Structure 1
Amino acid sequence: MNLDLWLVFLGGALLSAVLPGAGAILTLNHAFQRGWRKTLPLIAGQATALALMVPIVALSTEALRASAAAWLLLKGISVLWLLFAAYRTWRAPVIMDAYDVVTLIRGSQRFCWGFLTDITNAKALAFLLATLPVFLNPAQSLGPQITLMTLTMVMVDALMMTLYAFIATRLRPYFQSPETRKQQNRLFAGFLVFIAVSLCFIEHPTLIQ
């Protein structure tokens, strides 16, 4: 992959990371609740999922594009997961001590939550299916190309999520009252439901050109 093509791919990765999605919503809400440092395992889980998705999609693009059943299954799982995450966010305790005791106590739990959020992200899969084939050159060795694309997307996404978490932490003092926390949880839960509903209208990747 030459420098010009990589820069175009980098721009697409930045755009994908900046646009709000399920990962960004959960990162922001978790950082509001716990601060950016305790949000890092959540971000690490998302990065790990993306590091698996990019090479899998790149190596099996044609098979994934051809399987409408697999696409519908993944989309259904993604919608159900987002609705479950919205429910958990809506019901999350508004008092900090109670939140710390009740849910996602360990870093491993936050890592798994982030991993599951991204690995079931049908919207991210549709983006990868639509863009990766454009940048892959079958005349050259696929290994270095896929490695470069994976590292680019993972680093950009992780840095952007960390930035989101840091900004949310800086704004955290303004979200300390129980009523504000309650409204915050409901707002982010609403965003997750909106994303889940929007996924229902995403076409099969074979139609995305």
Structure 2
Amino acid sequence: MSFETWIAFVAASAVLLVIPGPTILLVVSYALGRGWKVAAPVATGVALGDLTAMTLSMLGVGALLASSAALFTAVKWVGAGYLIFLGVKLWRAGSRLDVTARTEAVRPGRMLAHAWLVTVLNPKSIVFFVAFLPQFLDPTLPFWPQMAIFEATFVTLAFANAFGYAILASRARRLASSPRAIRLVNRAGGTALIAAGTAAVTLRAA
């Protein structure tokens, strides 16, 4: 894997992780109600959930790559289209986070498990990884080393993102509910998804 490919993966992952979804809503709800102390357990749960979903996705992608190069290429084309679709959907999304502060007493271990469960059971997670990851895989290189690098990178970014959201939500509650801020995040994420899908199609067509 080239350094340029890894940097592109880091940049795309970082932008996409910022997009509010079910996991981020859970993180924000705990932080709004319980403060910054929830950051570590919920961020750990999110990271473990992403690790689980990403591993399942990568195993499926690896099986496709091993069975048929043509099928793998077809999945990359479908994946690129799916990224563009998600980008357009984000652009048309609402500008407010529908989240309620959680004030009930919950142990750190339970918060971690809750965050893991919400992340790993989100059906969009595995579908997204199947669409997203093949865009950065090189079929001519060994699969497992690439998988290890991508997973380690994404899980680290996922933890940092969830931790950051928890800290910001606990200290800047107005920002967490600001329609303008959420609209900017959605449009930035939508633009990134459309660009990623378009670039994937363009590079394969060139």
Query: Is the pair's TM-score, using the shorter chain for normalization, greater than 0.5?
Result: yes
How far apart, in 2, do the equivalents of 1:11 and 1:123 lie? 21
How far apart, in 2, do the equivalents of 1:124 and 1:53 lie? 6
Q: Which amino acid aligns with 2:129?
A: L
SS in 1 for 2:52: helix
- Is structure 2 residue 24 aligned with structure 1 residue 46? no
Contact 2:28 2:169 in 1 (8 A): yes
C-alpha deviation, 1:56, in angstroms: 2.2
Contact 1:36 1:166 in 2 (8 A): yes
Contact 2:38 2:166 in 1 (8 A): no
C-alpha deviation, 1:129, in angstroms: 0.9
C-alpha deviation, 1:3, in angstroms: 0.8
How far apart, in 1, do the equivalents of 2:15 and 2:30 lie? 22
User: CA-to-partner distance for each residue in 1:62-114, whole Å, 9 max, x for gaps?
Assistant: 66x9xxxxxxxxxxxxxxxxxxxxxxx76x77xx4xx22xxxx2111111100
- Aligned twin of 1:164: 165
Contact 2:56 2:126 in 1 (8 A): no
- Is structure 2 residue 57 aligned with structure 1 residue 31? no
- Aligned twin of 2:60: 60
C-alpha deviation, 1:5, in angstroms: 0.7
C-alpha deviation, 1:53, in angstroms: 2.0
C-alpha deviation, 1:60, in angstroms: 1.0
- Aligned twin of 2:140: 139
Q: Which runs of 5+ in 2 are unaligned?
A: 65-70, 72-98, 178-200, 202-206
C-alpha deviation, 1:171, in angstroms: 2.6
User: CA-to-partner distance for each residue in 1:27-83, whole Å, 9 max, x for gaps?
Assistant: 1111011112223212211101111222321121266x9xxxxxxxxxxxxxxxxxx
SS in 2 for 1:20: coil
Q: Which amino acid aligns with 2:41?
A: P
SS in 1 for 2:20: coil
How many percent identity over aligned positions? Answer: 25
Higher mean C-alpha deviation, range 40-49 or range 132-141: 132-141
Contact 2:42 2:112 in 1 (8 A): yes
User: CA-to-partner distance for each residue in 1:103-136, whole Å, 9 max, x for gaps?
Assistant: xx21111111001111012222222111211212
How far apart, in 1, do the equivalents of 2:12 and 2:127 lie? 14
SS in 2 for 1:113: helix
Contact 1:27 1:161 in 2 (8 A): yes
Contact 1:50 1:119 in 2 (8 A): yes
How far apart, in 2, do the equivalents of 1:143 and 1:129 lie? 16
- Aligned twin of 1:121: 122
SS in 2 for 1:60: helix
Q: Which amino acid aligns with 2:113?
A: C
C-alpha deviation, 1:146, in angstroms: 0.6
Q: Which runs of 5+ in 1 are unaligned?
A: 66-88, 175-183, 185-208
Q: Which amino acid aligns with 1:33?
A: G
4+ residue runs of structure 1 moved beyond 4 angstroms?
A: none
How far apart, in 2, do the equivalents of 1:59 and 1:14 lie? 23
How far apart, in 2, do the equivalents of 1:142 and 1:37 lie? 39
- Aligned twin of 2:6: 6
C-alpha deviation, 1:22, in angstroms: 0.7
How many residues were matched structurally?
147
- Aligned twin of 2:107: 106
